[in-house]
Each structure stands twice: as C-alpha cells, then as structure tokens.
Structure 1
Amino acid sequence: MLTNAVFTTSGPVVGTETNGVRAFKGVPFAIAPRFVRATPLLAWPEPRQCTDYGAYAPQPGHLDHADENTCLSLNIFAPAGADRPLPVLFFVHGGAFITGGGADYDGSFLAAHGPAVIVTINYRLGPLGFLQLHRHGLDEANNLAISDALAALNWVRANIANFGGDPDAITLSGQSAGASMVIALATLPATKGKFIRALALSAPGRNIMSADHADEVARRVLDELGLAHDVGSITSVPLPSLFAAVERVGRMIADETEQGTVFGPVLDGAVIPREPRDVFAAGSLRDIPLWLGSCRDEMAMFLKSTPPAAMIRTTERQVRDAFGDAGWCRLLSYYRATARLDEDPYEALLSDAFWHRPMADLARLHAAAGGAVWLSRFDHRPALEPFLSQGPTHGADNACLWAHLPDFVDRPILKRKGGPMTPADIDVAARFQAGVLRFVTTGAPDVAEAWPRFEPARESLAIFAQPFHIVPLNDGARSRVWAELLAPSRPVTASS
C-alpha cells in the first residue's frame, strides 16, 4: 500500500509499505548536466510518487534509454512505526566505476532486522562521473562521482529524520568501487561530522588515482573522439560514442601505464585534497570505527573473465617491479607449496597482493593512529553463480549481505538471478548481516570476546565461514616470505 507523504527539502514524497517496511525508491537528490557538478533540484509542490527505482546511471548495456540528467536518485528503506530515531546505513554500490546502481540492492530485509534505515544511491559512472576534464577547460569536471555521493550524503543528513533515521548516526558503507568511494569520502573535509562509522568491503588495492594518470586518460579519450582542440564539444557527444571511446582507451592503457585502470577517485587537490591513507595515518579519523572486509578468492572472477582483467597483469607487474623476478618466483613457489587442494596459487598470490594486504595495511594505519578497526575475510562459497563455480570470489560477501533470507535476491542491473539459499548460506549470511547491523547500531560488529579489534599487538582476522572463527593475520609461510621480502626497506608495491 502507499504511504502517507513524507516531507523533504525537495518536496513531499510517497512510497510503499510492505510487511512493516516503507520503501521510497527513485527519490531525486540532485540534478547534473553533463560534466557539471550536481546541484539541488527545484522543489516540487505536490506529493511525488517514489514507488519505482529511478533511471540507471548511463553505463554499458544501459545507454539507449538512459537519461543522464535525472539519474541522481536514492532509495530509502525504513521500518514503519519506529519508536526512536534509527541508525542509518548509507551504501555506495560497486561496479568497477562503470556499472551498477542502487536498484540492485533492496534494503527492506536489513531495515526490518536492524531495525535500521537503509539508503542506497546512484552516482554518475564511467566518463560521466570520473573523466577528469578540469585541466582541459571544463572547470567543474573533476571527481564528479565523489561530488554526487557527497550531495546524496548531504540530502540524507538533511532529510532522513523524517523517514525515522538518525542523521547523527550514519554509517558510510560500500563494496568494491563503492568501498574505494567510501574510503575517499570518509577523509574529505566536507564530510567531517556527517558520519560516525565506515564499512568498506573489497576495496581495490589502489584506492586513489594520481592526477597525472587521470590527465593521461582524459587526453587519450579526447584524442579518440577527435576533440583535443574542441573539448567543450564533449558535452554533446552521443553516449554510445563516448563510452565506446573510453572502452578503446581502456584496452590501450591496460599494459602501458603503471595503474592499468581507467577510472577511480582522483587525488586532484580540490575535491580530494589528500591521499586517503595519509589521512588515516595522521589520526584524523581515529574516532571513526572502521570495518574492512574482503573475500578469500577475490581474483578468481577476474582471472576467469574473457579476456582476463587488466588488473591481473598490472598486479603481477607491480610485484615483480617491487621484488624483482626472483622475489616473484619465490613468492609463487611458497604459494604453490602451501596451496589448498582447491586453490589456484597464482590467484591466491594476486588476491593477497591486490586485495588482502592493502586492506590489512589500512587497518594497521588506523589502529596505529588510535582508531578502532575490525578486519574480516569471507571464506564461504554461496550456492549462487558465479560463486558456486568460482568459490568465494569478489562479491560473495555482498550477495549474502543483501540476501532476503532464505533467498538470494535478483540483481537486475548486473542481470544476475537470485535463488534459494542452502542452510550453510543462511547460517553464514545471518552472521554477516547481524555483524553489519550491530556495527551500524553500536560501532562494533560483535562482542570483544567473539571478535577482537585489530590492534598492533594482536592482528585479528575474522573468517566468515562454518564455523565463524578468528585467526592471527600474519600466520604461516606466506606471511613470512612477504615479511622477508619487505624487510630491507618498504618499497612501493601492489599493496601500498
């Protein structure tokens, strides 16, 4: 049934109520012409029906009917009749900075079981959100996706109380590219005081791009479009042509640049003034509890893509550059000698280099600065493709986080079907969801006895599997060989 109108700074909105949870979908929070920073919409006077997800942000597979000016919307899931302001989970989706959207994340189950208010957002993707053109004549075109997420956060701060949420109890959260966005957002001067906790799942090893690399990408895209001397015309290039040029540039730079990737948050000195890891190390966020998580076989999905993702070659190259060919071969030999029967040692080495070790490094920085931090790894294989055939690869934890027990949910943008969960899926997912909701509510994912904080003297790693258990992070031959290779000095590697 339809809800009563809820008043916001943008105008009144009407949603739906099902099983005690109110859902407001496709709520516009800003408007954004191409390569211009998002601005508030003109307020609407009459109640607006927000019962369906808004337009997807333009992305591969969704370009023909995309409306880039109206894709900035968010979705709110809130328990009906709450007797107190509820904590808020503000979620930034992943998708390699080029795909995805809030429509893939139905937060009604989490909202009901928190209880909590769940918010999922859209932001501009691919060239529309990440192409850095401010040094090429378009003054506002820098870190537009970050600015979009900040605009959404500001809207939530201003309005969430009317939906039953506590604006002073917002947890920033994200997965994959969204986790990189969250790590960057958390460190911005503009977000100070606007959130109290942060959760980052499977943040890529490099959370930030250099301005020089972003400029090189922009230059190549402009060259592909024949607009090196007419940059302003990029605002009217048809979306299919713009995205096709970006795809061609991505193939070209995969092996030609240090980072090998096209998009991500950029250290531009303006929207993002400081390297996020430096902000954590300086202790500026020591009062913000932090949960960092990854999946055991992160790289399996990317190794099995066709062709294998560029990050595979880039990560191996970075490790070889750091330790030499002899160091690389030594690492790989240790991984082969200690591999599980079902483990690909090459994949495990790359997963450690690109995903697990960078997350642990960030945890160390936050803990050393006096911050509370928890580190986890998701080892459970969900009975859902692609995990059923690839193991607990990238996104396995996310599939369980958003499941509506006893079922996985459909992901319409990714075109992945849900399905029934096994008893093991339900057990692990329930533990994971409970941990997230407890973190959102209290600032700790579990009681200290069950899951100790990650501390310099005790680097605890929580393993989500059957059973849930805690292990020392640096245990075993693999950790020792990494430590020996890093011992003489600490060079720049895929994890730094």
Structure 2
Amino acid sequence: MLTKAIPTTHGPVIGAEQGAVRAFKGVPFASARRFAKATPPPAWTEPRRCTDYGAYAPQPGHAPQPGHLDQAEESCLSLNIWSPAGADRTLPVLFFVHGGAFVTGGGADYDGAFLAAHGPAVVVTINYRLGPLGFLQLHRHGLREANNLAISDAVTALDWVHGNIANFGGDPDQVTLSGQSAGASMVIALATLPQAKGKFARALALSAPGRNIMSADHADNVARRLIEELELGRDPSAMASVPLPTLFAAVERVGRRIADETSSGTVFGPVLDGTVIAREPRKAFADGTLRDIPLWLGSCRDEMVMFLKSTPPAAMIRTTERNVRTAVGDTGWERLLSCYRATARVDEDPYEALLSDAFWHRPMADLARLQSAAGGAVWLSRFDHCPALEPFLSQGPTHGADNACLWAHLPNFIDRPILKRKGGPMTPADIDVAAQFQTNLLRFVTTGMPDVAEAWPRFEPAKESLAIFGQPFHIVPLNEGARVRLWAELSTSPNDKNKMREAG
C-alpha cells in the first residue's frame, strides 16, 4: 500500500507501507555531472513515487541498471528512508554511509525497516559517488570542482536530512552519523568538518581503516598517473567524457601499479585537500572539536582474514607489514610476531592478528584515547561472534561480521544485492548477539549511550574498557597483556609513537 504524499524541499514523495514502517526509496537529494559538485535535483510538483531503490553509483562489476542506462552518474545521488508508522513523537535518526573500499556498494544493500521498527527510529541510507567519480582529485588538472566530491555528496545528503527529515517523523537535532569500513572513514572525516557542525548529535564508526585520510600528494599522484594512462596529457579535462568502462579499466591498471606505494594499500579515499577537508581529522579529535559528540568506535576480531584470503592477497597486507617494519625495525617486527605466536589462541593466525591490531584495532584505540583525553565520551567495541553466513562461516569474525548482524531482520540475515551476498536463517547464537548489538546501537542513537545500565563503561584513560560482542557480552581491559606491553615498549619515544601511528 502506498503512503500519503510527504513534502520535501524539491517536491512531494510517496512511499510504501512495509509492515509497521513506511519506506521511501530512491529519494533524490542532489544531481551531479561527472567531476562536478552536486547541485539540487530538478524540482517536481506532482507526487513522486519513491518505492524502488534509485540507481546506485557506477562501479566496476555492475552493468548500468535498467531505466538508468544513460543517466547513472547524474541520478545516483539518492537516499532511502524508513520511518515507523504512527509514531506519537519525533524520533532519533540513524544516517548510514555504506562501505565498499570507496569503489563499490550502495544504500540498497541496507534495508532499515527492522531497525526503524525496533528503535523506534528513522533510518536513512545514502548513495554517494565512488571510485574515480567520487575520489579522483582533478582540481589541479582543469576540472576545478573535482576534489573530495564523495565527501561533498555526503554533506549534501546530510543537509537534505537536516532540512527534511522532520516531515518523515525524524528529529533533525538527534541525527547519528554512522558508517562501516570505507563508510566509517567517511564518517570520521565528516564529523570534523565545519560544514557538518550542528547537523548531527553523535557518531558511530565500524571498522574504519587505520589510515582515514589520503594526502594531497598521493591524490595528485593518482590523478597524474591516470591522465598518463589515458593519454590525456594535452587535455586532462577530457576525462569528463571518457566512457566509464574505459575509465574503470584504466583505474584498475593504475591501481595495481601504485597500491603498494600507499600507506594504506588503497588508491582512493577522503583527501586532505585544504579546502573541503582542511584539517587532519585526528587533530580535530585531539583538540576537542568533537568533545560534545558521543562516539562509538568498533571493529571485528579477525578483520584481516578476509584480505589475507583474497586472490591475490590485498595490497593492505603488504603495506601494513612494511609500515610496521619501518616503525619498529625488522628486529621489532620479529619480536612482535614471536609474541603473537606465543600468545595465540588455538584458532588464531598470529600473523593475521598482528596485522589486524596494527591496521584496525590500535588506530581505533588511539582515536578513542584522543577523544577521551579531550573530554569527550567514547565507547570502544570488538565483534568476536562468527555469523552463520558466508564468508564468515569459513573466515570467522572478519571484516563486516558486525555489519551483517547490525542489519539483520531477526531471525534472518538480509540479502545484499550489490555486494552479491545472500542472506539466510540465523542460529540462536546469531540472534542473541545480533539482538545485543542492535539494542546497544539503538540505545546509542536514542540516548547517546550504548548501554543505559552502565554495564558498558566509557573508554577513559584510567580504565580503557573494551566491549566484546560475543557469547556472553562482556567487558575486558584493553591495556593489559603481553602484546600490549610489547607494543608500548616498541613505541616509547615521541618519534617512535609518531611512526607507530603512521604505521596504522
């Protein structure tokens, strides 16, 4: 059944009743030409039917969607809203930025109906431009608007939500910025921007990569190499008309050659360009810019397994080892590896555990320390449960295990059409851990605290509490154990600490 028309700044929209929730899918929040900043979409006057997901951002491995063959780039900037029907008050808002290594994914992989109904809360997922269309920095090469376009897309979506979400039952002053993987990096960058100030109340980042931002020099190197690959040296601006298959193929070739040259093993990401992103996000956390924003940082226990088992292994494996060796020396590396071998669980790969700590867990803990030291409230978590769903059945609680449970419609995992993963029935253990995870998230979205009973203490210098989502849910001290002591020993001087931070 269709909903009544809801007014927005660009025109009225009609959604569909989805059980106890109203769903509005494919709502345009902006339009954009290739390598140009987003602008308001063409306005409409007649109610627009928003019952199907809009076109997701062009990306390798996916043909243009039916109905969007000629306008995929211009029409991908849409968002999806799930709002409980019949709510008697304004509700908090979960604003989610999807992951996908900055090159793939879309809001259509995350059906927010279950979370919206059980919050109750209003859930929003967004699309933003990906790969070269969203992250290629061409403002020094004749396309002056082409810098941090994906970040600008997300800011524009946040502006739209701030201005319109009250019409869907949401409270614009109670928005939680959230994201996973690449989306978590986007959230960390977004949270520190003056353009976003006052438009969100709290932030959640799940599995943010250790290096949350690219340098301007790296971004310019990628742009120059791609211009050379496409033989556009005489007219770099001609890249705006290069066919997408040709552009994606050139990016793939360039990416393979330079991924090992980066500190993160990835080619794209938010860039410290001095304009859209003027400050390194960690500096903003350190100086207390976000001290009034409650923050939840999470990761999965075996983050690196997925990347080790990819074919070939992801470049971040090689770059992470190289970065750690640079920071602590070959002797320090061997000491770390020996320590991890001596303290490994029966089912643990010591090499993977070392890399997971270096690239994922330790950088998140460092960010928590910055937030706490500046006077902000922060909670730190690790997801140790292995969902009964591939790839986790064969890889354990690796990257994305928490996200699978977060978006589950208990008692089932949901399908992820863009990621090309099927859902399926959950085990009792899956249901137990997923319910705990969702409950804490919805409490955080509603109150700014993941656990109102104080069973999960804030992360503080005197007591670095780490919440473990498993069976049972429990709290452990982060700053104990042989591994922690060795990392501390290897980073005793200020210079070493800087190197260790860069290693992540």
Q: Distance in 1 between matches of 2:112 and 2:451?
A: 21
- 1:102 corresponds, among 107, 112, 115, to 107
Structure 2 residue matching 1:83: 3-state secondary structure: coil
AA of the residue aligned to 2:323? Q
- Deviation of 1:232 after TM superposition, in Å, equals 1.3
- Deviation of 1:447 after TM superposition, in Å, equals 2.7
Structure 2 residue matching 1:458: 3-state secondary structure: coil
Given the alignment of the two structures, is residue 439 of structure 1 paired with residue 482 of structure 2, yes or no?
no
AA of the residue aligned to 1:480? R
Unaligned runs of 5+ in 2: none
Q: Does structure 2 conserve the Cα–Cα contact (< 8 Å) formed by 1:357 and 1:495? A: no
- Superposed, 1:21-170 pairs within 5 Å as 21-65=21-65, 67-170=72-175
Given the alignment of the two structures, is residue 186 of structure 1 paired with residue 201 of structure 2, yes or no?
no
Q: Distance in 2 between matches of 1:258 and 1:430?
A: 37
AA of the residue aligned to 2:452? V
Q: Does structure 1 conserve the Cα–Cα contact (< 8 Å) formed by 2:141 and 2:237? A: no
Q: Distance in 1 between matches of 2:315 and 2:453?
A: 40
Q: Does structure 1 conserve the Cα–Cα contact (< 8 Å) formed by 2:468 and 2:475? A: yes
Q: Does structure 2 conserve the Cα–Cα contact (< 8 Å) formed by 1:295 and 1:379? A: yes
- Superposed, 1:199-278 pairs within 5 Å as 199-278=204-283
- 2:407 corresponds, among 402, 411, 417, to 402
Structure 1 residue matching 2:498: 3-state secondary structure: coil
Aligned to 1:492: 499
Unaligned runs of 5+ in 1: none
AA of the residue aligned to 2:217? D
Percent identity, aligned pairs only?
A: 80
Q: Distance in 2 between matches of 1:390 and 1:384?
A: 10
Q: Distance in 1 between matches of 2:378 and 2:231?
A: 48
In the superposition, the TM-score normalised over structure 1's length comes to: 0.99
Q: Does structure 2 conserve the Cα–Cα contact (< 8 Å) formed by 1:294 and 1:378? A: yes
Structure 2 residue matching 1:491: 3-state secondary structure: helix
Q: Distance in 2 between matches of 1:150 and 1:8?
A: 17
Q: Distance in 2 between matches of 1:57 and 1:331?
A: 41
Q: Distance in 2 between matches of 1:128 and 1:274?
A: 23
Aligned to 2:358: 353
- Deviation of 1:404 after TM superposition, in Å, equals 0.1
Structure 2 residue matching 1:254: 3-state secondary structure: helix
Q: Does structure 2 conserve the Cα–Cα contact (< 8 Å) formed by 1:24 and 1:50? A: yes
Given the alignment of the two structures, is residue 413 of structure 1 paired with residue 409 of structure 2, yes or no?
no
- Deviation of 1:261 after TM superposition, in Å, equals 1.8
Q: After superposition, what is the alpha-carbon deviation per residue over 1:143-175, rounded to whole angstroms, capped at 9, x for unaligned?
A: 000000000000011100000000110000000
Structure 1 residue matching 2:81: 3-state secondary structure: strand
Q: Distance in 2 between matches of 1:257 and 1:427?
A: 40
Q: After superposition, what is the alpha-carbon deviation per residue over 1:100-147, rounded to whole angstroms, capped at 9, x for unaligned?
A: 000000000000000000000000000000000011121100000000
Deviates more, 1:66-75 or 1:466-475: 66-75
Structure 2 residue matching 1:398: 3-state secondary structure: helix
- Deviation of 1:20 after TM superposition, in Å, equals 1.2
AA of the residue aligned to 1:292? L
Q: Distance in 1 between matches of 2:329 and 2:259?
A: 21
Structure 2 residue matching 1:147: 3-state secondary structure: helix
Q: Does structure 2 conserve the Cα–Cα contact (< 8 Å) formed by 1:87 and 1:441? A: yes
Q: Distance in 2 between matches of 1:235 and 1:165?
A: 38
Aligned to 1:472: 477
Q: After superposition, what is the alpha-carbon deviation per residue over 1:59-93, rounded to whole angstroms, capped at 9, x for unaligned?
A: 01124445111000000000011100000000000
Q: Distance in 1 between matches of 2:450 and 2:58?
A: 35
Structure 2 residue matching 1:246: 3-state secondary structure: helix
Given the alignment of the two structures, is residue 16 of structure 1 paired with residue 16 of structure 2, yes or no?
yes
Q: Does structure 2 conserve the Cα–Cα contact (< 8 Å) formed by 1:63 and 1:239? A: no
- 1:393 corresponds, among 382, 395, 398, to 398
- 2:333 corresponds, among 324, 328, 331, to 328
- Deviation of 1:41 after TM superposition, in Å, equals 1.2
- 1:338 corresponds, among 343, 353, 371, to 343
Q: Distance in 1 between matches of 2:183 and 2:151?
A: 10
Aligned to 1:454: 459
Q: Distance in 1 between matches of 2:420 and 2:198?
A: 37
Go from structure 1 to structure 2 and tell me whether the alpha carbon gap of 1:164 and 1:474 turns closer, same or farther (over 3 Å shift): same
- Deviation of 1:495 after TM superposition, in Å, equals 5.0
AA of the residue aligned to 1:13? V
Q: Distance in 1 between matches of 2:299 and 2:210?
A: 11
Q: After superposition, what is the alpha-carbon deviation per residue over 1:296-327, rounded to whole angstroms, capped at 9, x for unaligned?
A: 00000000000000000000000000011000
Q: Distance in 2 between matches of 1:139 and 1:480?
A: 49
AA of the residue aligned to 2:475? I
Q: Does structure 1 conserve the Cα–Cα contact (< 8 Å) formed by 2:320 and 2:503? A: no
AA of the residue aligned to 1:59? Q
AA of the residue aligned to 1:100? G
AA of the residue aligned to 1:319? V
Q: Distance in 1 between matches of 2:473 and 2:503?
A: 26
Q: Does structure 1 conserve the Cα–Cα contact (< 8 Å) formed by 2:307 and 2:313? A: yes
Q: Does structure 2 conserve the Cα–Cα contact (< 8 Å) formed by 1:56 and 1:62? A: no
Structure 2 residue matching 1:77: 3-state secondary structure: strand
C-alpha RMSD of matched pairs (Å): 0.9
- 1:318 corresponds, among 318, 323, 346, to 323
AA of the residue aligned to 1:250? G
Go from structure 1 to structure 2 and tell me whether the alpha carbon gap of 1:339 and 1:198 turns closer, same or farther (over 3 Å shift): same
- Aligned positions, number: 496
Q: Distance in 2 between matches of 1:448 and 1:186?
A: 27
- Deviation of 1:254 after TM superposition, in Å, equals 2.1
In the superposition, the TM-score normalised over structure 2's length comes to: 0.97
AA of the residue aligned to 1:162? N
Go from structure 1 to structure 2 and tell me whether the alpha carbon gap of 1:177 and 1:257 turns closer, same or farther (over 3 Å shift): closer
Go from structure 1 to structure 2 and tell me whether the alpha carbon gap of 1:299 and 1:340 turns closer, same or farther (over 3 Å shift): same
Q: Distance in 1 between matches of 2:340 and 2:262?
A: 27
Q: Distance in 1 between matches of 2:244 and 2:18?
A: 37
